[in-house]
Amino acid sequence: MIKILEERKEQVFNKGKDSFEISCDKKSASGSVSQRACVFCGSRVVLYPIADALHIVHGPVGCAVYTWDIRGALSSGPELHRLSFSTDLTEIDIIHGAEKKLYESLIGLIDYYKPNACFVYSTCIIGVIGDDVEAVCKKVSNEKFIPVIPVHSEGFKGTKKDGYKAACEALFKLIGTGSANDVGKFSINILGDFNIAGEIWVIKEYYKRMGIEVVSAMTGDGRVNEIKKAHGAKLNVVQCSGSMTTLAKMMKEKYGIPFIRVSYFGIDDMANALYDVAKFFGDANILENTKKLVKEEILKIMPEINFYKEKLQGKKAAIYVGGAFKAISLIKALRLLGMETVVVGTQTGNKDDYNDIKDIALEGTIIVDDTNPLELSKFIKEKDVSLLIGGVKERPIAYKLGIGFCDHNHERKEALAGFIGMLNFAKEVYGTVLSPVWEFIPRK
Amino acid sequence: MNNDNKTKEKEIKATINACKLCSPLGASIVFRGVKNAMPLIHGGQGCSTYIRRYIISHFKEPMDIASSSFTEEATVFGGESNLITGIENVIKQYNPELIGIATSCLSETIGEDISLYVNKYLRNNIGKDNPKIVHVATPSYSGTHIDGFHKSVKAIIETLVKEKINTKSKKINILPGFLSPADLRYIKEVLEDFDLSFTMLPDYSETLDAPIWDEYKKIPEGGTSIDQIETMNNSVATIEFGKTISNEFSGAFFLEEKFGIKRFNLGFPIGIKETDQFFNILEKLSGLSTPNKHKLVRGRLIDSYVDGHKYLFGKKAVVYGEEDLVIGITNFLFEIGIIPIIVASGGNSGKLKDFIQNNGAYISNNEINILNGVDFSEIEEIAFNLKPDLIIGNSKGYKIARKLNIPHIRVGFPIHDRIGGQRILHVGYNGTQNLFDSITNALIEYKQENSPVGYSYI
């Protein structure tokens, strides 16, 4: 029998049965095998796809090596982000401090790789040995004439969300340092896309067809010089709201740039993401282009989508992902395929997010914050789902029980955003749910 | 042999694409090899999550590692209450027989006194059915995952093995080191074929390579039982694989020093010579000669060496990974005529060169570059100049193979870009046969693919 830990009881909610407010935004319970990582992870995942910057992890080797080239974030040019740089601290450095090692590492790396900026990630131990990372960064920046930005990502200083915030603060230091004179009036920044499997290229193409200029996609196929002039854009379009809303708010306050929240997953949300931008600018041409685009794209994929829907009708699914906005999109996308979500959870959802999920979820759905493998295995078995959507850490939970799985995390190599992404998603779900291998599964 | 590690990139202080992992990873794998045990990393939440993800991606199995989830308060005032809550919650959820606590760089640096916390916990819970608790210090700034692995084996033995009971046992201990589940299964089969009873520590042959389940297992079945471990001092001998293990981190050395149990320290049994050594010792310990089944495998292996030798002679290989695996593979390459032009490890025991035994008259010593404590950027740079024909090691060397457009034979850990890493057999006559076939066929395939003719008869 798998029991829910006492301190987690308010983080597990059964719609139609429970009436409390879901408890969230708190540290993971000690001894619970949380699927979350740490502050460092939050910063690292957000900044990672900036491909012409040098990302160096200041600490012992582990944190750098576990995050080496693990994401599907593609670049159309430089690929500096796919290398792993670490100061690889040893006992001596811990005893005597490692500022000199960091300094020398940075100088050597900058001379060799000639990056357009450096991000220096502090790991747990830097917070304890007291290196003045800020001062080292400033010194190197002055000597090498490129931005060298400290990221305050000590693992223990909060949750993954605090890491997102540290990444936003690091980006904010770059924004506004370049000239935005050439930015036009129908211009946007895309926040919170990471160009997994080339998704940003799909999205950018849509905006281009609408007549919208993308100034910077920040972290999707990211470039330092684009980020520097991001303050010139007239609107911030925030996807993956969990990680980048902080930056959008900071930019609104300093540069007066309004922001909207969107999702590129599923047909409805994708179409809305385009329409919302078109409506913001209120230009007749753009609106017309958008309508045309949406119609074309939907017509292109619907026949195939309908084929999959017929096959998948009535199957049940569970979702456990990082951000809540994505979870909601996935519930809708699954509905489009005739599937109902009966378990849904996130690592970093907040109170508003969970209220939104409660609204859209069916009666009897289990809604869960910061779950662990034992709970998740219990829910997916009890609810008898045919599909779990999650990341690498969730995959064996599904597979060991003989349940289909779709990877919707940063490691995936399939593009799932955009209209074409919806079709890829449908194919992937179909391919796992209807595989003949389940015939041999012993689970009753 | 050439031991000059200087490269252009080495002038850079930073490590670029490390060829090693951190210590708590090794500890986590060892604890997963004890029956009904749970690993717990005393540190930030990320350590356990990252290590889980890394291990899961190789074994394709669930890998639960608890975390004490360090906070800022814990960092300032000490992590006692986090650890105690962690232990309590692990017991509530998993009901393990053993909890293996690995301390991270953070908790080690702030000077956590784990034995004090644990003793206090046990005192406050007298009369309860408490699990055994083993602590191992695994700060990531000290050594690599292999050090964490060996230290954990030793810590388990030190904690659980108590007074010697004098029984007339013919049991042996086997400490296999960081091998694949398939390797562990093979070694067990060999020992059974010699009619030996044994305790293997760790044994994750089932826990990290389980069949499909009919219901979710909180802790996967299998692993070395605590009873078996507690009586390791009644064995007649300990066989330990891994030439580079220091006495300080060796469970076998500990058992010999404290209980007088004979220690046989062997290299990884890869290749005929090293495997013969292993079988010789088994013959001695069991009083039996090698079963015919294994003699036949050995004979077929030599037969295949002959069949394949012309495809291999003089080919240049890059070998990298954990030191003991690299030593095993390299000495095997000497048997079949391949020149290991680069023998590299991120590990830094300083002993790598001592155990690379170039007995091949066909190779001059200065063709072999032995590199201790290096990263992949250095391996790549040297490899680029030496124009190797193949590269042998884990998935992380793929980028080098791709750049050089040469075959990559995947061995060891991690295998993140193929399925079946847990089923790769490296050791014994059977494992050597598997490696031999993989290497030979990779070279034949390369020649075939790059030939303008495309023969289907080679």
Phi and psi torsions of A366, nearest 5°: -90, 125
Determine the residue of chain B that is closest to A38 in CA distance.
B46
Q: Which whole number is the average pLDDT over A53-60?
A: 98
Q: Which of A67, A100, A124, A407 to mutate to test the interface with B (most CBs of B within 10 A)?
A: A124
For the segment A129-148, what is each residue's pLDDT rounded down to a tens digit? 999 999 999 999 999 999 99
Element (H, E) at A326: helix A324-336
Percent of all residues in chain A with a pLDDT value above 70, rounded to a whole number: 100
Tokens linked to A233: 């854009």
Looking at residue A7, what is its pLDDT?
87
Q: What is the CATH number of domain A6-24+313-412?
A: 3.40.50.1980
In angstroms, the Cα distances linking B168 to A297, B233, B401, B416 are: 79, 12, 53, 46
Instruction: Give Dmax over CA atoms of chain A in angstroms.
Output: 66
User: Across the interface, which of A104, A392, A402 has its CB nearest the CB of B212?
Assistant: A402
Q: Give the span between the Cα atoms of B258 and A185, in whole angstroms.
A: 79
Looking at residue B167, what is its pLDDT?
67
Q: Give the span between the Cα atoms of A175 and A25, in whole angstroms.
A: 28
Q: Which is it for strands B15-16 and B66-67: parallel, antiparallel or unpaired?
A: unpaired
Q: Give the span between the Cα atoms of A76 and B386, in whole angstroms.
A: 31
The verdict on whether omega for the bond into residue B414 sits within 30 degrees of 0, i.e. cis, is yes
Arithmetic mean of pLDDT over chain B:
94
Per-residue pLDDT at B361 exceeds 80: no
Structural domains of chain B sorted by starting position, each given as residue range(s) with its CATH number in brackets: 9-15+305-449 (3.40.50.1980), 23-160 (3.40.50.1980), 172-286 (3.40.50.1980)
Looking at residue B30, what is its pLDDT?
98
* Min Cα–Cα distance to chain B from A30, Å: 4
For the segment B232-260, what is each residue's pLDDT rounded down to a tens digit? 999 999 999 999 999 999 999 999 999 99
Q: Which whole number is the average pLDDT over B208-223?
A: 95
B357 touches A: beta carbon within 8 Å: no
Q: Which whole number is the average pLDDT over A401-429?
A: 95
Coil vs helix vs strand at B252? helix
User: Across the interface, which of B50, B83, B110 has its CB nearest the CB of A128?
Assistant: B110
So what's the ipTM on this one?
0.95
Q: Which whole number is the average pLDDT over A148-176?
A: 95
Angle subtended by helix axes B181-193 and B428-449, to nearest 10: 140
Per-residue pLDDT at B8 exceeds 60: no
In angstroms, the Cα distances linking A38 to A331, A339, B110 are: 27, 33, 19
On chain A, the residues whose CB falls within 8 A of the CB of B69 are 27-30, 32, 34
Query: Counting every residue, how long is chain A?
Result: 444
> Which residues, 6 or more positions from B21, have their beta carbon under 8 angstroms from its beta carbon?
A61, A62, A65, A66, B54, B144, B145
On chain A, the residues whose CB falls within 8 A of the CB of B93 are 2-3, 5, 31-32, 372, 374
CA A239-A411-B64 angle, to 5 degrees, is 115
Amino acid at A344: V
Per-residue pLDDT at B168 exceeds 90: no
Element (H, E) at A18: none
For the segment A100-109, what is each residue's pLDDT rounded down to a tens digit? 999 999 999 9
Phi and psi torsions of A317, nearest 5°: -135, 155
B57 touches A: beta carbon within 8 Å: yes
In angstroms, the Cα distances linking B325 to B122, B141, B164, B312, B322 are: 40, 22, 33, 20, 5
Closest CA to B261 of B187, B184, B170: B170
On chain A, the residues whose CB falls within 8 A of the CB of B105 are 59-60, 62, 94, 123-125
A417 backbone φψ class: left, alpha, beta (φ>0; ψ -120 to 50): beta
DSSP one-letter string for A140-200: HHHHHTS-EEEE---TTSS-HHHHHHHHHHHHHHHTTSS--TT--SSEEEEES---BTTHH
DSSP one-letter string for B259-326: H--EEEEE----SHHHHHHHHHHHHHHHS-PPPHHHHHHHHHHHHHHHHHHHHHTT-EEEEESSHHHH
Burial grade of A67 (CB within 10 A; 0-12, 13-18, 19 or more): buried
Coil vs helix vs strand at A86? strand
Q: Give the span between the Cα atoms of B398 and B414, in whole angstroms.
A: 12
In angstroms, the Cα distances linking A261 to A25, A189, A242 are: 20, 12, 10
Surface of A (18-37) touching B: CB under 8 A = 27-37
CB B236 within 8 A of CB B170: yes
For the segment B38-82, what is each residue's pLDDT rounded down to a tens digit? 999 999 999 999 999 999 999 999 999 999 998 888 898 999 999
Looking at residue B169, what is its pLDDT?
76
Asked whether the domain spanning A187-295 has the same topology as the one spanning A39-174, the reply is yes
Q: Which whole number is the average pLDDT over A7-14?
A: 92
Decide if domain A187-295 falls under CATH 3.40.50.1980: yes
pLDDT bucket at B102, cuts 50 / 70 / 90: very high
For the segment A194-249, what is each residue's pLDDT rounded down to a tens digit? 999 999 999 999 999 999 999 999 999 999 999 999 999 999 999 977 789 999 99
Looking at residue B5, what is its pLDDT?
46
> Which residues, 6 or more positions from B73, have their beta carbon under 8 angstroms from its beta carbon?
none
Q: How many CA atoms lie within 13 A of B351 on its CB side?
A: 13
Burial grade of B29 (CB within 10 A; 0-12, 13-18, 19 or more): buried
Looking at residue A100, what is its pLDDT?
96
Q: Which is it for strands A404-407 and B15-16: parallel, antiparallel or unpaired?
A: unpaired
User: Across the interface, which of A38, A60, A86 has its CB nearest the CB of B44?
Assistant: A38
Q: Can you name the residues that pair with A63 across neighbouring β-strands? A: none
Q: How is chain A split into domains, by residue range?
A: 6-24+313-412, 39-174, 187-295
Q: Which of A4, A58, A65 to mutate to test the interface with B (most CBs of B within 10 A)?
A: A65
Q: What is the CATH number of domain A39-174?
A: 3.40.50.1980
Tokens linked to A355: 């209220």
Per-residue pLDDT at B163 exceeds 90: no
The two counts, helices (H) then strands (E), for chain B are 16, 14
Q: Which whole number is the average pLDDT over B204-226?
A: 96
Per-residue pLDDT at B9 exceeds 60: no
CB A76 within 8 A of CB A201: yes
Looking at residue B2, what is its pLDDT?
53
For the segment B121-149, what is each residue's pLDDT rounded down to a tens digit? 999 999 899 999 999 999 999 999 999 99
In angstroms, the Cα distances linking A180 to A207, A219, B163, B290 are: 19, 18, 76, 78
Closest CA to B102 of B51, B66, B137, B70: B137
Rg (Cα) of chain A, in Å, rounded? Answer: 22
For the segment A346-374, what is each residue's pLDDT rounded down to a tens digit? 988 899 999 999 999 999 999 999 999 99
Looking at residue B363, what is its pLDDT?
80
Closest CA to B231 of B161, B329, B281: B161
Least confident range from A212-226, A234-248, A252-266, B386-400: namely: A234-248
Per-residue pLDDT at A159 exceeds 90: no
Closest CA to A411 of A128, A149, A91, A194: A194
Per-residue pLDDT at B360 exceeds 80: no
Per-residue pLDDT at A121 exceeds 90: yes
A80 touches B: beta carbon within 8 Å: no
User: Across the interface, which of B82, B105, B214 has its CB nearest the CB of A442?
Assistant: B214
Closest CA to B193 of B287, B294, B277: B294
Determine the residue of chain A that is closest to B111 in CA distance.
A128
Burial grade of B435 (CB within 10 A; 0-12, 13-18, 19 or more): buried
Q: Which whole number is the average pLDDT over A35-56?
A: 94
